[in-house]
Amino acid sequence: MRRLVRLAPLALLVAVLLSSCVSPAWNDHDYELKAGATAESAASSLQIVRSAVQHEDRLTRPYLKVVLTEAAEALGSVNAQFGGVQPPSDAADQVRDQVTGMTEEAESQVQDLLIEVRRDRVKDPAKAVRELGRLADKLGAFAEDHR
């Protein structure tokens, strides 16, 4: 039993190191599929945020904070996971720039909204809903094009 207790920190370290490994994309098509899945996941997170902001007058502030916090964390995770995928070619670099530009913008928008909610409420919900919808649609179109 003591041996297991001593090995637990080592097992945890190995798990952390393995989870931070770079994922390969075998070819441009595989890379585009990963980029499309990334865009789809980000668009989904934005749609949830969009709905919450659209109906923010019906939600408690603590609940809205939770929704925005979880969405910001999900978008950060999406960015980190896709950032770990190595582009196999120069053409894939362009795909990478496109998708990371949009997902980073999505993460930034959600974090900005979270700051607004923590301070008081969303300053201009109608504008936020429009911007979130625009970016979610853009991500959705990218996902469709890269399936």
At 51-67, the pLDDT tens digits run 999 999 999 999 999 99
CA atoms within 13 Å, Cβ hemisphere of 28? 7
Three-state secondary-structure class, residue 86:
strand
Q: What is the pTM of this model?
A: 0.82
Q: Which two tokens stand for residue 33?
A: 């599929």
Give me the sign of the Cα torsion angle 130, 122, 74, 28: positive
Does the domain at 24-145 match CATH 1.10.3470? Answer given as no
Burial 52-63 (b: 16+ CB within 10 A, else e): bbbebeeeeeee
CA-to-CA separations, 124 to 20, 131, 135, in angstroms, rounded:
38, 11, 17
| pLDDT (tens digit per residue) in 37-96 | 999 999 999 999 999 999 999 999 999 999 999 999 999 999 999 999 999 999 999 999
